[in-house]
């Protein structure tokens, strides 16, 4: 699949090659019913074109019949040669042709939509296979707009390739044959020159418009990205009163979009005028040739009408040639960024033949691990430690020491550059990512919830969980009573990123979600650092209950949350500076002791200020009481 994606992406500059690569989606190997629809749609397409060619013939015969020049004696029964019958046949043929086209479109609709769905699905799956690094560097708003335009572009290409390009070619060939057999090579030559000039001009003008379209798309993506970023950070915008600045940035992007969009429509007007001019010139030449032939007596008025009707009929698919080319080219422009996404290789992939992780004791080992996000800036420099089965090991240290990187490596969001990360002696690079991540539960510092119900967010830990299991998980996380007190209970919507809940409530939902997952390994990545002291103590009690008898790795900023850990590892500049128990590290009077003393002083100062505020508030009440 990856190879095919690369081929498609590499060929976006070649419309024909891209269409060839898209063919498997229009002719799906696993859907014989859709293949049958393609076959029937193609047969109906050909039938409609042969019927369409009969339309100008009936017009010609009706004209000659009205003029008394129809000479088909012996070829057709006399009752069929009446002008009224021929007029009826002319209109009936048009209706039949229209019906065949509509039936063709109806048959092909599910084929086109299936292709759109398959490519959209593969793009969505591929996005989830890409590395954390990729998603940290990209903006969600821009990605969503690229996928949206890409799926529409795919639908355009699939529909117009089958339903318009082939019919246009068939009609042109039939028209050329009729002109040759009925009126000679000169008419074919004029038709060929007109069509060739028309196609050449259309391609040149459309290619010119593609650059304008790209500029419009870039402005559209930029405006959409700014809008989504601003709305996602609504509170921050309000904190700093920067509504005008955000509106100005958005309007600047929309101004560029306005300019490019205006150029798109202006250039379309010039394109349509040039196409009309070329086809009008060719039509004029052929009508003059036919008029002279009528004057010479070599053609009838019916022939003159026939030539005109055939040219008018040909103008429709010719116009579609320009339209189809423009739409396909613009569709390719819209999907080329989507194909670029499909071409991005996943940074972390399963090894060929990777087996599921076999969990026995759920022990963790980091062995001489070296890692850097940027080769010029090493993060971990030879880290080695073991988390025995069922024990708790805490990782602490100053900001930037590499604490959170350890959890990302264990989850295999990144691969180590040297050394190994192992679970029960198995290198995480040798097992499947799905089995690895099923073994680990995470309670992060910044809990982001889906904009859905509380029940949905808790059940996200294990989608197959029963109602009773979900309720039990909520109780363990000490949030069950709070949820049942809400008017809508577990069906309460949490809002975008869970903003309708407090920090402590979100953390409890995250804990309940992890409890429901029931993983043998638990990672607590600064799970209480953003909470107040009181809430932290409540959450900490729930975390200690959840981590009991589980292999637990705690990434902590507040040292008060790790004093009961079986071992504390102190990182500094990507290396292990100290390690031991809480009491042992205090006795060493080193980095850990220094961090502990600073945090204790800060906590004492915070407690003192709180007591002063409470005392002041009580004093205000006492002084006001007599006056009342």
CB atoms within 10 A of CB 377: 8
Residue 420 is predicted with a pLDDT of 94
73 vs 563, residue with greater confidence: 563
How sure is the predictor about 384, in pLDDT bands with cuts at 50, 70 and 90? very high
Residue 74 is predicted with a pLDDT of 41
As given in the structure block, the two tokens for residue 517 are 């997952």
Residue 553 is predicted with a pLDDT of 93
How sure is the predictor about 427, in pLDDT bands with cuts at 50, 70 and 90? very high
Query: What percent of the chain has a predicted confidence (pLDDT) above 90?
Result: 16
Does residue 379 carry a pLDDT above 70? yes
DSSP secondary structure, 344-396, as one string: SPPSS-PPTTPBPP--SS--EEEEEEEE-SBTTB-SEEEEEEEE-TT-EEEEE
Among 12-21, 91-100, 114-123, 186-195, name the one with the lowest average pLDDT. Answer: 12-21
pLDDT (average), residues 143-156 = 74
Instruction: Provide the whole-model pTM.
Output: 0.63
CATH of domain 364-446+520-611: 3.40.50.300
Residue 576 is predicted with a pLDDT of 92
- 533-547 helix and 467-476 helix, angle to the nearest 10 degrees: 130
As given in the structure block, the two tokens for residue 557 are 């900023």
Q: Is 178 helix (H, G, I), strand (E, B) or coil?
A: helix
On whether the CB atoms of residues 401 and 574 are closer than 8 A, the answer is yes
pLDDT (average), residues 499-510 = 81
Cβ-proximal residues to 247 (8 Å cutoff; 6+ apart), any chain: none
Does residue 440 carry a pLDDT above 80? yes
Note the pLDDT tens digit of each residue in 56-76: 877 777 887 777 766 654 444
Question: What are the distances in angstroms from CA 22 to CA 7, 106, 112, 335?
Answer: 11, 21, 11, 12
| Domain map (residue ranges) of the chain | 2-343, 364-446+520-611
Q: Do domains 2-343 and 364-446+520-611 have the same CATH topology?
A: no
**Which CATH number fits the domain 2-343, given the four candidates 1.20.1560.10, 2.40.10.10, 1.10.10.10, 3.40.640.10?**
1.20.1560.10
On whether the CB atoms of residues 230 and 246 are closer than 8 A, the answer is yes
Residue 171 is predicted with a pLDDT of 75
Among 54-68, 265-279, 576-590, name the one with the lowest average pLDDT. Answer: 54-68
Does residue 77 carry a pLDDT above 50? no
How sure is the predictor about 44, in pLDDT bands with cuts at 50, 70 and 90? confident
Cβ-proximal residues to 222 (8 Å cutoff; 6+ apart), any chain: 142, 253, 256
What mean pLDDT is reported for the chain? 80
Among 238-252, 295-309, 525-539, 559-573, name the one with the lowest average pLDDT. Answer: 525-539
pLDDT (average), residues 390-394 = 92
Residue 398 is predicted with a pLDDT of 84
Name the DSSP letter for residue 233: T
Note the pLDDT tens digit of each residue in 326-372: 677 667 767 777 777 777 777 888 889 899 999 999 999 999 999 99
Residue 7 is predicted with a pLDDT of 37
């Amino acid at each position: 699949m990856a190879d095919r994606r690369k081929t498609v992406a590499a060929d976006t500059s070649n419309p024909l090659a891209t269409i060839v690569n898209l063919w498997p989606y229009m002719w799906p190997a696993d859907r014989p019913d859709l293949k049958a629809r393609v076959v029937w749609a193609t047969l109906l397409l050909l039938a409609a074109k042969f019927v369409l060619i009969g339309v100008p013939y009936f017009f010609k015969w009706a004209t000659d019949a009205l003029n008394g020049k129809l000479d088909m004696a012996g070829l057709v029964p006399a009752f069929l040669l009446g002008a009224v019958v021929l007029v009826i046949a002319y209109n009936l043929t048009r209706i039949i042709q229209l019906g065949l086209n509509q039936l063709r479109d109806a048959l092909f609709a599910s084929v086109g939509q299936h292709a759109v769905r398959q490519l959209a699905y593969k793009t969505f799956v591929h996005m989830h296979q890409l590395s954390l690094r990729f998603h940290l560097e990209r903006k969600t708003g821009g990605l969503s707009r690229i996928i949206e335009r890409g799926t529409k572009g795919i639908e355009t290409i699939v529909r117009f390739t089958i339903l318009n390009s082939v019919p246009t070619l068939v009609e042109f060939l039939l028209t050329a044959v009729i002109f040759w057999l009925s009126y000679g090579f000169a008419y074919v030559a004029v038709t060929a020159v007109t069509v060739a000039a028309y196609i050449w001009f259309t391609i040149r003008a459309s290619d010119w418009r593609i650059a304008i379209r790209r500029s419009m798309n870039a402005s559209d993506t930029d405006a959409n990205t700014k809008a989504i970023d601003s709305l996602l950070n609504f509170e921050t915008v309000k904190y700093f009163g920067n509504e005008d600045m955000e509106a100005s940035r958005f309007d600047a992007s929309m101004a560029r979009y306005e300019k490019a969009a205006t150029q798109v429509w202006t250039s379309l007007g010039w394109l349509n005028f040039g196409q009309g001019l070329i086809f009008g010139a060719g039509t004029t030449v052929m009508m003059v040739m036919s008029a002279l032939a009528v004057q010479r007596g070599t053609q009838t008025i019916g022939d003159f009408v026939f030539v005109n009707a055939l040219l008018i009929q040909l103008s429709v698919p010719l116009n579609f040639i320009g339209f189809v080319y423009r739409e396909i080219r613009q569709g390719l422009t819209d999907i080329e960024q989507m194909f670029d996404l499909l071409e991005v290789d996943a940074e972390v992939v399963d090894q060929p033949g990777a087996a599921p992780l076999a969990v026995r004791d759920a022990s963790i080992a980091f062995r001489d691990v070296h890692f850097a996000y940027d080769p010029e800036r090493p993060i971990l420099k030879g880290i080695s430690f073991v988390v025995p089965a069922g024990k708790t090991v805490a990782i602490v240290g100053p900001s930037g020491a590499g604490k959170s990187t350890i959890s990302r490596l264990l989850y295999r969001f990144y691969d180590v550059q040297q050394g190994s990360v192992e679970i029960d002696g198995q290198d995480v690079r040798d097992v499947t990512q799905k089995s690895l991540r099923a073994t680990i539960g995470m309670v992060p510092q910044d809990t982001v919830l889906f904009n859905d119900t509380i029940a949905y967010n808790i059940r996200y830990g294990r989608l197959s969980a029963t109602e009773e299991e979900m309720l039990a998980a909520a109780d363990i996380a000490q949030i069950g009573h709070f949820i049942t007190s809400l008017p809508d209970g577990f069906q309460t919507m949490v809002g975008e990123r869970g903003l309708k809940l407090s920090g402590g409530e979100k953390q409890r939902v995250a804990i309940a979600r992890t409890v429901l997952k029931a993983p043998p390994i638990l990672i607590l990545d600064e799970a209480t650092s953003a909470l107040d002291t009181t809430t932290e103590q409540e959450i900490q009690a729930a975390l200690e209950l959840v981590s009991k008898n589980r292999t637990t790795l705690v990434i902590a900023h507040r040292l008060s949350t790790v004093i009961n850990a079986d071992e504390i590892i102190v990182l500094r500049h990507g290396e292990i500076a100290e390690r031991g128990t809480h009491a042992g590290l205090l006795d060493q009077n080193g980095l850990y002791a220094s961090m502990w003393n600073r945090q204790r002083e800060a906590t004492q100062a915070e407690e003192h200020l709180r007591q002063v505020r409470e005392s002041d508030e009580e004093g205000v009440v006492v002084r006001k009481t007599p006056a009342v």
